[in-house]
């Protein structure tokens, strides 16, 4: 859904600055395709990380960098000649359709794509799924998640023969949620949000400083928009930092 919303915002901004028609050039098409691919990879990386699929997360994160670098290289070597023109509202409608389709997609189906339930009776798959849920969805530190998995494995080793992990602990998602509950859960999730906001704020601040230092006489509209984006991200970072500080801490052992 975020991919469609970002596209819609870009269409509106292009409409405001350049008018009703968007000119399509080979270099511009390469940059646009690179941005779309990078956003798609970033979205999948976030979902894979939340599901505890760490290899997939880092793989798609690498895809973001590869898409941006590849798009930049193609933009340098491809022509700037106009191929055709497209009405910006048509592009905006397409972006709205993408966002609507993503919003209508059931979350349970997305979860099955990245985190299918472990096979019945497969204790190792159940335990692996437990560890991924604790680290990914519930943002638990790796050492703490491994400790919970180790305790569950020890319990199963001492359990009567034939008792599976699902028999002993129930549904893995419900059990992971019970383990993650407590005073530290809010702080863990707030810390994850803080890292994302901080990275975005730093990235756009660097871009803004670079534009201001370059002083190439760009549009005041884009400069003001850039400043507004940076201000919003810094405000979000400050808000989430305060939320993290106010989160209850677990009692000391």
Q: Which residues pair with 24 in a beta bridge?
A: 84
The answer to whether 158 and 194 have CB atoms below 8 angstroms apart is no
Type and span of the H or E element at 22: strand 21-24
The answer to whether 202 and 177 have CB atoms below 8 angstroms apart is no
The answer to whether 200 and 250 have CB atoms below 8 angstroms apart is no
The answer to whether 193 and 239 have CB atoms below 8 angstroms apart is no
DSSP 141: -
Q: What is the distance between the alpha carbons of residues 154 and 183, in angstroms, rounded to a whole number? A: 26
CA 207 to chain CA centroid, Å, is 21
Residue 24 main-chain phi, psi, to 5 deg:
-105, 120
pLDDT at 109: 60
The residue with tokens 């999948």 is: 44
Dihedral sign, Cα of residue 72, residue 74, residue 78, residue 80: negative
Residue 206 CB partners (closer than 8 Å, separation 6+) = none
Residue 20 CB partners (closer than 8 Å, separation 6+) = 87, 88, 89
Q: What is the distance between the alpha carbons of residues 36 and 71, in angstroms, rounded to a whole number? A: 10
Q: What is the distance between the alpha carbons of residues 132 and 116, in angstroms, rounded to a whole number? A: 12
The answer to whether 51 and 129 have CB atoms below 8 angstroms apart is no
Question: Where along the chain do its domains lie?
Answer: 1-116, 125-181, 183-253
Q: What is the distance between the alpha carbons of residues 87 and 18, in angstroms, rounded to a whole number? A: 11
DSSP 60-117: HHHHHHHHHHHHHHHHHHS-----EEEEHHHHHHHHHHHHHHHHHS-HHHHHHHHSPP
Residue 161 main-chain phi, psi, to 5 deg:
-60, 135
Residue 141 main-chain phi, psi, to 5 deg:
-55, 150
pLDDT digit string (tens) for the chain, length 253 residues: 555 666 666 677 666 666 777 777 888 788 878 877 887 787 777 777 766 677 777 888 888 888 888 888 888 888 878 878 888 788 778 777 777 776 666 655 656 666 666 666 778 888 888 888 888 777 777 888 889 899 988 888 887 777 888 888 888 888 888 888 866 666 666 676 777 777 777 777 776 776 677 665 555 666 676 777 778 878 877 877 777 676 555 544 4
**Entry pTM:** 0.57
pLDDT at 211: 66
Tokens of 9: 């915002």
């Amino acid at each position: 859904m975020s991919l469609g919303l970002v596209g819609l915002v870009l269409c509106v901004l292009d409409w405001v600055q350049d008018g009703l028609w968007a000119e399509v050039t080979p270099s511009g098409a390469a940059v646009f395709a690179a941005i779309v691919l990078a956003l798609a990879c970033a979205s999948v990386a976030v979902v894979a990380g939340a599901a505890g699929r760490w290899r997939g997360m880092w793989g798609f994160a690498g895809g973001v960098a590869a898409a941006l670098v590849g798009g930049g290289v193609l933009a340098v070597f491809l022509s700037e000649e106009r191929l055709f023109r497209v009405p910006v509202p048509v592009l905006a409608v397409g972006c709205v359709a993408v966002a609507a389709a993503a919003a209508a997609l059931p979350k349970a189906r997305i979860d099955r794509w990245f985190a299918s339930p472990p096979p019945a009776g497969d204790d190792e798959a159940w335990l692996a799924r437990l560890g991924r849920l604790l680290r990914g969805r519930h943002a638990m530190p790796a050492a703490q998640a491994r400790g919970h998995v180790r305790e569950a494995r020890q319990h199963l080793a001492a359990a009567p023969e034939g008792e599976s992990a699902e028999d002993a602990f129930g549904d893995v998602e419900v059990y992971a949620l019970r383990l993650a509950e407590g005073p530290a859960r809010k702080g863990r999730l707030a810390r994850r949000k803080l890292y994302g906001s901080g990275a975005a704020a730093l990235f756009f601040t660097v871009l803004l400083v670079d534009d201001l230092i370059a002083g190439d006489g760009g549009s005041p509209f884009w400069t003001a928009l850039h400043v507004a984006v940076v201000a919003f991200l810094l405000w979000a970072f400050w808000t989430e930092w305060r939320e993290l500080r106010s989160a209850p801490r677990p009692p000391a052992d």
